[in-house]
Structure 1
Amino acid sequence: MLHYLTLLGILVCGTALRLIQLERKPLWVDEIFTALFSLGTGFDRVPLEQLIPLSDVPNLLALNPTATCPDIARTLAEQSTHPPLFFCLMHRWLVELDGLPISLTFQLRAFAVLFGVGAIALIYLLNRLAFSPQAGLIGSAIVAFSPFGVYQSQEARHYTLPVFLIALSLILLLQMGRDIEKERLRQWIWGSWAMVNAIGFYTHYFCLIAFVAQILTLIALLYKTQSRFLLPATFFSLLPLILFSPWFPTLVEHFTSPKTSWLPPPQHITPLLQTLLAMALMVVIPPVENQPLWIIIPLSACSLLFLFWAIQQILPRFKTLIRNPKTHQATFILSSFIAWTLLQFLVIVYLLQKDITSAPRYSFLYYPAFCALLGASFSQRKWNLRGKLSPRLPISPSPRLSILSPRLLILLGISLASSLCVVFNLAFQKPYHPLTVARQLNTAPASLVMVMGYNDTLPISLGLSYALALEQIRTQKEDDFLIFLNNEKGYDRVWENISQDVRNPQNLWIFAPGLLKEQYPQKIDLNSGTQCLFDPAQYYRIGIPYQGYSCR
């Protein structure tokens, strides 16, 4: 009874962490993408080359309840580089919540929370089946308090659903490993594994990487045991690809799209260091973003000391998992999955010259396996220097090695503190900082016009993000406007369009992707007779440059 009450407490704590402050942080660029596609509209809903009243911007994110999944899939195929399933499910979720007194931001992010909490439960099941009930509790607690898990659950993005699916596929893969070991074939297990992976492909393209890692692990298991299941393994391995084949032409088109060119080329060993950093962020992240050096240095040093201590705790106990015949196969499967996933990362980084390690969020692929092994390691005993179990420790997991052990309380305490930093926007801060920009634009109550130069959908999404954040904190917005102007043929045309389309603002803010400070004009004469003068004190750069003008 106490065991399941502990599990319930872990689930409640994990849910609470993910719901705290859920709607306080404004939607950022990628979440605007999610909103537009999930609402069943897309970028066709956004007026271009015309003034949009600031108070009308929230109406651009209105639900289209008549949109169907094929409609959403067509929009994604044309305007994005993502598969459709997550957005179709999100649309159904928004339709069910339509009419309730809940903000759109909360609705969007709560969908990610749902699968983030589900992943906590699945890691418990994974470790319980693979190792022990105690390992299940510890693994689920690590996920519940993980700052990386909290961060992804508070993002209206398609990451917690793939984490959920990958965790489920690993549970099925472990059962397949037992089938191979016992020379039996439960077709429903193998078929379920194939279906879960196929669903993953339609959720996030990177699930293909996780699938390849599972295939290579399965091949290693077949080779180690000299199994006779080569033919059924081949069939069930091809089945997800067959089910995904209708979307494959779109995948090829998305892969070659210029929209994927934002990933930088690798810089020497930087991807390796970024991979280690991504693993560290799963358990600890100090609040050092945009802080002075006197805060960054001591907090970073303390985090490094904690990581050094954690590694000392984990490595000898990981040996226990490898050497124990009862846990060897499960440890091999999870470790092999992580290794093959990371190897594919390096292939993408150094052969395709796309550094996906520069975005820590992509470590969601091996996050379930990493947390499972971490939880299993902390449930084990320590090997002494001679390679034998310490005689002072019990032979099997016991309550003394439970979630109340001092070393585990230290780990969970540090993770909890890190998660609270995420919740209160001290860590994993939203890219492009929409709230910071909105506050800078809101320094004066006088009327303003936001001008966003664009040549693709990214600046449009960015402009909507800033405008929504500003609209939420602006008290007087009757004379405030947003306008998107195409800069594909250069900014001279943008300056002309500003003169023609903008009337009599007291403040003009120009967001100009790719423009240097000295390239902004010193003054802009509006056709209405108003003159807007360059303000040297109002130049900023957060992702893209933007310049303030005083008009009179």
Structure 2
Amino acid sequence: MKDEHGPGYSRYFILGLILAAGSLLRTYELSGQSIWLDEAVSIYHSRQNITHIISLQDPTPPLYYALLHFWTRLAGTSEFSVRMLSVLFGTASIFIIYLSASHTFNRRAGLYSALLISFSPLHIYFSQEARTYSLLFALTLLSMYFYSRLTSAASSKWIIPGYLISTTLLCYSHLYALLIVIAQNLHQIIVSRFKLSRELKAWLLIQLFVFMFYIPWMVRLPGIISDHFHSMDFKAFVFTVDLYDI
């Protein structure tokens, strides 16, 4: 099977090499540094039961803590183990950006994009940290991939569920994820030339579902942010999270 840039098998072989290199770079010296404060907070929260994690009074949505909760039950809580979850998300990002760039441009652009992300020092850094940022990046790419497919002529029936799932999970990964959704909506409004076209109505219906899925967290968010800013002193934080309990 061939495409415009050569045999398909060579493309997949190169992509495999890029993924392998990206994975190795992200696991290299993974436990070289001890757990630092923010990572300790992640571990502390992940050791609670799921009900506690969901009801956390933390501005960071609970998705990463919940995933880390189940991950550490399987892999343990060593420096290497807790950071390995972020490595997996970081490596997945390499593949997702390949898919996204291949769809938006061509497969060669997909390979170049994957290569750049694979060797990006900043991306490697956050892929080695037991925080939500690697997950945030992966879900951002996934949401944007489905968004680009959704707005193209080559859309298929699984694109809408894919967009809904990835974007909802994205919103539950970090507060800044809302900026991605806002940007997508602004783009749709501009593309529709500020007219309520049939396409824009269909898009707004999809956004209504995203909004509904986000309501459980959204109704709690003002109180969480208020409590967070009222208790932002170091002593209160230390008493809230006792690192010796980790």
TM-score w.r.t. length of structure 1: 0.40
Report the CA distance shift for 1:260/1:9 in structure 2 as closer, same or farther (over 3 A): farther
Report the CA distance shift for 1:224/1:206 in structure 2 as closer, same or farther (over 3 A): same
Match status 1:149 vs 2:127: no
Q: CA deviation at 1:12?
A: 0.9
| C-alpha separation in 1, matches of 2:107 and 2:188 | 25
| C-alpha separation in 2, matches of 1:228 and 1:186 | 18
Aligned ranges for residues 223-242 of structure 1 at < 5 Å? 223=193, 227-242=197-212
Matched to 2:142, the amino acid is L
> Is contact 2:126–2:134 with CA below 8 Å preserved after alignment?
yes
Q: 2:133 corresponds to which residue?
A: 159
> Is contact 2:97–2:114 with CA below 8 Å preserved after alignment?
yes
Q: 1:456 corresponds to which residue?
A: 236
* 1:211 pairs with one of 165, 178, 181: 181
Match status 1:197 vs 2:205: no
| C-alpha separation in 2, matches of 1:187 and 1:90 | 32
Which deviations, in whole Å up to 9, do the C-alpha atoms of 1:30-85 show, x marking residues without a partner? 10100100122xxxxxxxxxxxxxxxxxxxxxxxxxx2x223222x22xx222111
| C-alpha separation in 1, matches of 2:39 and 2:229 | 16
Which deviations, in whole Å up to 9, do the C-alpha atoms of 1:122-173 show, x marking residues without a partner? 0001111111111000000100000110010011000111111110111111
> Is contact 1:130–1:174 with CA below 8 Å preserved after alignment?
yes
Unmatched tracts of structure 1, length 5 or more: 41-66, 263-452, 469-552
Which deviations, in whole Å up to 9, do the C-alpha atoms of 1:94-139 show, x marking residues without a partner? 11224xxxx6111110000000000000000111111111100000
Which deviations, in whole Å up to 9, do the C-alpha atoms of 1:362-420 show, x marking residues without a partner? xxxxxxxxxxxxxxxxxxxxxxxxxxxxxxxxxxxxxxxxxxxxxxxxxxxxxxxxxxx
Aligned ranges for residues 153-192 of structure 1 at < 5 Å? 153-179=127-153, 186=156, 188-192=158-162
| C-alpha separation in 2, matches of 1:211 and 1:193 | 11
Q: 2:36 corresponds to which residue?
A: 28
Report the CA distance shift for 1:208/1:226 in structure 2 as closer, same or farther (over 3 A): closer
Matched to 2:189, the amino acid is I
* 1:135 pairs with one of 105, 109, 118: 109
Which deviations, in whole Å up to 9, do the C-alpha atoms of 1:169-192 show, x marking residues without a partner? 11111112214xx8xx75542343
> Is contact 1:94–1:107 with CA below 8 Å preserved after alignment?
yes
Report the CA distance shift for 1:141/1:73 in structure 2 as closer, same or farther (over 3 A): same
Unmatched tracts of structure 2, length 5 or more: 1-8
Q: 1:116 corresponds to which residue?
A: 90
Tell me the matched-pair count. 238
Aligned ranges for residues 41-440 of structure 1 at < 5 Å? 67=49, 69-74=50-55, 76-77=56-57, 80-98=58-76, 104-179=78-153, 186=156, 188-223=158-193, 227-259=197-229
Match status 1:11 vs 2:8: no
| C-alpha separation in 2, matches of 1:217 and 1:131 | 19
| C-alpha separation in 1, matches of 2:105 and 2:218 | 38
Q: CA deviation at 1:454?
A: 5.5
SS at match of 2:198: coil
SS at match of 1:205: coil
| C-alpha separation in 2, matches of 1:209 and 1:126 | 19
Q: CA deviation at 1:24?
A: 1.3
| C-alpha separation in 2, matches of 1:85 and 1:252 | 18
Matched to 2:235, the amino acid is N
Alpha-carbon RMSD: 2.7
Report the CA distance shift for 1:247/1:226 in structure 2 as closer, same or farther (over 3 A): closer
Which of these two proteins has the greater Rg computed from alpha carbons? 1
> Is contact 1:38–1:72 with CA below 8 Å preserved after alignment?
yes
> Is contact 1:454–1:460 with CA below 8 Å preserved after alignment?
no
SS at match of 1:26: coil
| C-alpha separation in 2, matches of 1:454 and 1:143 | 36
| C-alpha separation in 2, matches of 1:458 and 1:259 | 15
Matched to 2:129, the amino acid is E
> Is contact 2:54–2:62 with CA below 8 Å preserved after alignment?
yes
| C-alpha separation in 2, matches of 1:164 and 1:86 | 12
